A and B are shown apart, each in its own frame.
Chain A
Amino acid sequence: MVSNYADIIVMRHYLEGAAQYASEVSPVPIVNAGDGANQHPSQTMLDLYSIYKTQGTLEDLNIYLVGDLKYGRTVHSIITAMRHFNPTFHFIAPDELAMPDYYKMYCKKYNIKFFEHQDFDSHTIADADILYMTRVQRERFTDLEEYERVKDRYLLKKDMLFRARANMKILHPLPRVNEIEYSIDNTPYAYYFQQARNGLYARQALICDALGITLDDIKNDKTIIS
């Protein structure tokens, strides 16, 4: 019904597969802006763009995923999206929020290298090209004592960065609570605010693509004042 009013529908829905179903019945393009715990593809596009933009390539990178690797939809999507680019992953999480077996089996199936850590210090992250931080949320824990024990173990502090590679960039899907120390914000490693801005560009590009507008169309559009 909404398709009578709009050229494109961007939808977020709590049920998984809702966008897929909508795309089968809608005459106008559907963009999935998140369907339950299933997918959030525009976040993945902006993450890939941020990695490419900061590293100049998507190939052969060391990618460190930190925090809630059990429920974090974004970190799962990065694994599937990076599959084609020979990454090496490092999973850093407390036991209760460890990377699910399903994704570890996925890595093995596609020969994606991965290492698991429980420690989080300057040595662990010394070889990182991308350090992808996520929130460790209290409501994810069944055992609150366990939460109290681990909640401060996966915070990134400025003094952990002195061994970091020059090209290393910190990403975070935002909003941040306290998992990245504020003093890191004005170091060259911080990229999470630009990453959020890249979300705008990635979504503009997605909408153009869905509407059949090409880069040449935009370059040749005389009505755009540059």
Chain B
Amino acid sequence: MKRQELQVAALENGTVIDHIPSSKIFEVINLLHLEKVSTSVTIGINLKSKKMGHKSILKIADRFFTDEELNQLSVVTPNVSLAIIRDFEVVEKKQVKMPDELVGIIKCDNHKCITNNEPMQTHFHVLDKEKGILQCRYCNREVTLNDVKLI
């Protein structure tokens, strides 16, 4: 892609998260705690995309996330493209993978669950990655990914 066609500024070093559904962009920002990042963050919303019609994109300068951090995105945006940029070049591409355990990310929808009544982290076991079935470690309630609420 030529420089003048870029819809948002190029990145020298850092992480690009592309093909984010525009409705999910703020959830991604929250999940990665980008409000605490001190380097420059470029947010592009409702950009034209051949693949998706409209998409959103995040470019985070000088910040490289652990797989654990990135895999949390599987809860809201399992199909994003991740690229690690060094010296304006893509040096690594990654896919989001659903982890086996989700700690402190989603809420349990059982109001009698201990996690909704004590100052503690939630913890879900991922029972079925394809169907997106999760189970609360504490009250054993099962939820599907489509119905989960983020903390």
Contact = CB atoms under 8 A, between A and B. Distances in A.
Interface string A26-54: 00000000011111000000000000000
B83 to A, nearest CB: 38
A21 B117 CA distance: 12
Nearest to A14: B112
Nearest to B138: A17
B43 interface: no
A58 interface: no
Contacts of A35: 114, 139
B112 A21 contact: no
B136 interface: yes
A18 interface: yes
A16 B117 CA distance: 10
Contacts of A16: 110, 112-114, 138-141
Nearest to B114: A17
B9 interface: no
A20 interface: yes
A72 to B, nearest CB: 16
Interface residues of A, number: 12
A37 B141 CA distance: 11
Most buried by A among B112, B115, B120, B137: B112
A9 B98 CA distance: 36
Given A17-B136, A21-B138, A37 B120 contact: no
A52 B112 CA distance: 34
B137 A20 contact: yes
B134 to A, nearest CB: 14
B137 A15 contact: no
Contacts of A37: 112
Interface in B109-151: 110, 112-115, 117-118, 120, 136-141
Nearest to B137: A20
Contacts of B139: 16-17, 35-36, 38
Nearest to A38: B139
Most buried by B among A16, A21, A36, A39: A16
Contacts of B117: 15
Contacts of A38: 139-140
B112 A20 contact: no
Contacts of A21: 114-115, 118, 120, 138
Question: 9 closest Cβ contacts across the A-B interface?
Answer: A17-B138, A16-B139, A17-B114, A17-B139, A15-B114, A18-B114, A21-B114, A20-B138, A36-B112
22 contacts: A14-B112, A15-B113, A15-B114, A15-B117, A16-B110, A16-B113, A16-B138, A16-B139, A16-B140, A17-B113, A17-B114, A17-B115, A17-B136, A17-B139, A17-B140, A18-B114, A18-B138, A21-B114, A21-B115, A36-B139, A38-B140, A39-B140
Given A16-B112, A20-B138, 8 more contacts: A15-B113, A17-B114, A17-B140, A18-B138, A20-B114, A21-B120, A36-B139, A39-B140
Interface of B: 110, 112-115, 117-118, 120, 136-141
Interface of A: 14-18, 20-21, 35-39
